[in-house]
C-alpha cells in the first residue's frame, strides 16, 4: 500500500513539473510573438507618421510656392524688389551649401588621444560623433576648420585623418551650431556618444553662443560639378 | 503515525491543488492569446497599413503638384530675369544654379552605383550583428564619397549637408523621416571606381560576414531626385558672419 502511495505522489509531482515548464514556455513564446507583432505595428506606425509629416510639409511648401508665384507675378513688386528677391535666395543658398562663414549658438568639442598609447582616434569615431550631432539638429559642423558637407569624406590615412581632401591630425576640434543646450544634453546623456568615446580618449565640451564655422575653401575637392548633370 | 498520515495527505492535496491551478492558467493564457491580442493586433496593423497607403497616394499627388508649381515658378522667374538683359543678373542666375546643384536641390542624372542592404535572413548567435545599424550606412556612404560620388540618396531621400542617419527602433531616420530595411543607396559617380572600391572595402566584407545582404549594382544611368522639402530646418540657426 505504501509503495502505491509513493508512486502516485511521484507521478503527480512529475506532472506538476511538466505543467510548470510548459506554462513557462508558452508564456515565453507568446511574449515573443507579441513583441514581434508589436514591433511590426510600431514599424507601420512610424512609416505612417513619416508619410503624414512629409505630406504636411509638402502642403505647406506648395502653399508657400503659390504665394511666391502670385507675389512674383503681381505688379506690386517692382524690378528692384525682384532683383532683391534673387539676391536673398542666393544668400540663403550660400548659407545652406556652406559658402559663407556662419555664426550661432553651439558646442565646441575637443578630442585628444587618451592615456593609452595605442588608442589613436579613428575616422569612425569622428563619423559617429558627427552623425550624433546631426541627429540632434546640428545645422553646420566643422572638424579642425573643415566645414563638413554632404560630400565631405572623413578618412584615416596613417596618422592623419583626411577631411575635404585636407590632412589633419590630433587633437581634433569639432564645432557644431544648433541649440547649445540640446546638443550638449544629447551627446552627454548616459550611455551616449561621449560616454562611449571617453573610454579611450579625452573629451572637452564647451558651450558657446558664438560658434563660428568657416565656409568651405577647397570646393573643387568636394564637389564634382561635372558629374552633377541636371536631369530634365 | 497518525501525524505522518496527515502530512502525506496534505502533500498530495497540495500537489493536486497546484496542478489544477497550472492547468487552468495554461489553458487561459493559451486561449486569451489565441483569440484576443493576436486578432486585435493584426486588425490594428491592417488599419494602419490602409492609412499608410492613402497617405502615400496623397504624397504622390502632392509631389506632382509641387513639381508643377516649382517648374512654373522657376520658368516665370528665369523668363523675367533673362528679359532684363543684364550681365550681373545673368551671373547671379548661374551662381544660383550651381549652388542648387551643389546642395542637393536639383535632380541629377548620371552613371553610378546602387547598393542594396538587407538584414540577415538567418539570425546568427548575435541578433545585433545580423541587423543593419546607422553606422553601417554612414560608413558605406563615406566610402562612396571617398570615391568621388557626386550625389547620394538613401531610399530616395537626398543626402544633404545636414542629413542625419540614425537608428530609431527598427527604423533609420534620414532627413527627419523614418525608413525600415531594406536600404537602397544610390550614388552618381564613376561606376567602375566606386564598384571596385566598395567591393574591397572593410565595411562591406564586415556586413557580409554577419550574413547581411549587400548587393552592389553598376548602372549607366541613375536619376537622383532633389530634396523636395523646405530647407528651413537646416539653416534656421545659422547667421551669416558680417564681414568686417
Residue B241 pLDDT exceeds 80? yes
How much is the ipTM here? 0.79
Q: Do B69 and A66 touch (CB under 8 A)?
A: yes
- List CB contacts of A219: < 8 A, sequence separation 6 or more: A99, B102
Q: Which of A214, A119, A210, A106 is nearest to A170 (CA)?
A: A119
pLDDT of residue A26: 77
Q: For the segment A25-64, what is each residue's pLDDT rounded down to a tens digit?
A: 877 777 777 777 777 788 788 888 888 988 998 898 899 8
A185 CA to chain B: closest CA distance, Å? Answer: 17
Output B243 or B166, whichever has higher pLDDT.
B166
Residue B124 pLDDT exceeds 70? no
Residue B37 pLDDT exceeds 70? no
Helices (H), chain A: 2-73, 79-97, 123-135, 180-188, 193-197, 219-222
User: Which backbone phi and psi does A41 adopt, to 5 degrees?
Assistant: -60, -45
pLDDT of residue A20: 80
Q: Do B145 and A152 touch (CB under 8 A)?
A: yes
Q: How confident is the model at residue B36 (pLDDT cuts 50, 70, 90)?
A: low
- Name which of A22, A57, A155 to mutate to probe chain B: the one with the most chain B Cβ atoms within 10 A of its Cβ: A57
Buried b (16+ CB within 10 A) or exposed e, B111-142: bbbbbebebbeeeeeeeebbbbbbbbbbbbbb
DSSP string, B91-132: HHHHHHHHHHHHTT-S-EEEEEEEEEEE--SS--S-HHHHS-
Question: Which residues of A are less than 8 Å from B18 in CB distance?
Answer: 16
Q: What is the mean pLDDT of residues B42-56?
A: 87
Measured between CB atoms, which of A60, A149, A230 is closest to B106?
Answer: A230
- Name which of B89, B188, B241 to mutate to probe chain A: the one with the most chain A Cβ atoms within 10 A of its Cβ: B241
Chain mean pLDDT for chain B: 88
Q: Do B25 and A45 touch (CB under 8 A)?
A: no
**Least confident residue range of A166-170, B37-41, B121-125:** B37-41
Q: Do B52 and A89 touch (CB under 8 A)?
A: no
Residue A118 pLDDT exceeds 70? no
Question: Which residues of B are less than 8 Å from A47 in CB distance?
Answer: 52, 171, 178-180
Measured between CB atoms, which of A42, A45, A54 is closest to B177?
Answer: A54
- List CB contacts of B130: < 8 A, sequence separation 6 or more: B119, B120, B122, B123, B124, B210, B211, B212
Q: For the segment A168-220, what is each residue's pLDDT rounded down to a tens digit?
A: 998 999 999 999 999 999 999 988 999 999 888 899 999 999 999 999 988 87
In whole angstroms, give the CA distance from residue A221 to residue B223: 23
Adjacent-strand bridge partners of A175: A108, A142
Q: For the segment B169-203, what is each residue's pLDDT rounded down to a tens digit?
A: 888 999 988 888 899 999 999 999 999 999 999 99
Amino acid at each position: 500500500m505504501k509503495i502505491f502511495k509513493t508512486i502516485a505522489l511521484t507521478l503527480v509531482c512529475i506532472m506538476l513539473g511538466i505543467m510548470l515548464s510548459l506554462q513557462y514556455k508558452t508564456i515565453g513564446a507568446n511574449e515573443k510573438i507579441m513583441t514581434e507583432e508589436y514591433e511590426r505595428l510600431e514599424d507601420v506606425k512610424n512609416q505612417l507618421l513619416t508619410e503624414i509629416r512629409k505630406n504636411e510639409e509638402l502642403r505647406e511648401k506648395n502653399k508657400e510656392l503659390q504665394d511666391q508665384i502670385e507675389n512674383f507675378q503681381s505688379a506690386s513688386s517692382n524690378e528692384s524688389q525682384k532683383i532683391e528677391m534673387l539676391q536673398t535666395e542666393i544668400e540663403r543658398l550660400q548659407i545652406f551649401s556652406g559658402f559663407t562663414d556662419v555664426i550661432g549658438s553651439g558646442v565646441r568639442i575637443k578630442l585628444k588621444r587618451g592615456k593609452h598609447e595605442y588608442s589613436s582616434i579613428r575616422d569612425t569615431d569622428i563619423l559617429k560623433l558627427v552623425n550624433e550631432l546631426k541627429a540632434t539638429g546640428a545645422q553646420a559642423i566643422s572638424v579642425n576648420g573643415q566645414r563638413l558637407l554632404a560630400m565631405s569624406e572623413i578618412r584615416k590615412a596613417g596618422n592623419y585623418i583626411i577631411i575635404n581632401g585636407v590632412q589633419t591630425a590630433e587633437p581634433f576640434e569639432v564645432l557644431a551650431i544648433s541649440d547649445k543646450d540640446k546638443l550638449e544634453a544629447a551627446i552627454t546623456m548616459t550611455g551616449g556618444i561621449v560616454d562611449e568615446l571617453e573610454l579611450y580618449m579625452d573629451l572637452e565640451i564647451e558651450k558657446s553662443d558664438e560658434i563660428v564655422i568657416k565656409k568651405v575653401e577647397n570646393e573643387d575637392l568636394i564637389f564634382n560639378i561635372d558629374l552633377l548633370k541636371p536631369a530634365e | 503515525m497518525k501525524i505522518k498520515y496527515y502530512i502525506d495527505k496534505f502533500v498530495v492535496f497540495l500537489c493536486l491543488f497546484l496542478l489544477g491551478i497550472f492547468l487552468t492558467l495554461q489553458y487561459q493564457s493559451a486561449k486569451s492569446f489565441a483569440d484576443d491580442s493576436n486578432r486585435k493586433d493584426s486588425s490594428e496593423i491592417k488599419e494602419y497599413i490602409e492609412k499608410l497607403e492613402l497617405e502615400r497616394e496623397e504624397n504622390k499627388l502632392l509631389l506632382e503638384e509641387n513639381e508643377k508649381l516649382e517648374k512654373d515658378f522657376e520658368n516665370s522667374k528665369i523668363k523675367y530675369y533673362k528679359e532684363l538683359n543684364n550681365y550681373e543678373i545673368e551671373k547671379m542666375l548661374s551662381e544660383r544654379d550651381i549652388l542648387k546643384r551643389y546642395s542637393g536641390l536639383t535632380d541629377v542624372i548620371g552613371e553610378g552605383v546602387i547598393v542594396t542592404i538587407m538584414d540577415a535572413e538567418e539570425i546568427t548567435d548575435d541578433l545585433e550583428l545580423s541587423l543593419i545599424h546607422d553606422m553601417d550606412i554612414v560608413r558605406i556612404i563615406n566610402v562612396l564619397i571617398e570615391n568621388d560620388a557626386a550625389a547620394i540618396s538613401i531610399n530616395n531621400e537626398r543626402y544633404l549637408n545636414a542629413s542625419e542617419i540614425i537608428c530609431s527602433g527598427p527604423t533609420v531616420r534620414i532627413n527627419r523621416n523614418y525608413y525600415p530595411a531594406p536600404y537602397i543607396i544610390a550614388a552618381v559617380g564613376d561606376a567602375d571606381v566606386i564598384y571596385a572600391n566598395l567591393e574591397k572595402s572593410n565595411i562591406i566584407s564586415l556586413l557580409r560576414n554577419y550574413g547581411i545582404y549587400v548587393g552592389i549594382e553598376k548602372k549607366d544611368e541613375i536619376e537622383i531626385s532633389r530634396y523636395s522639402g523646405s530647407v528651413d530646418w537646416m539653416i534656421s540657426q545659422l547667421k551669416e558672419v558680417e564681414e568686417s
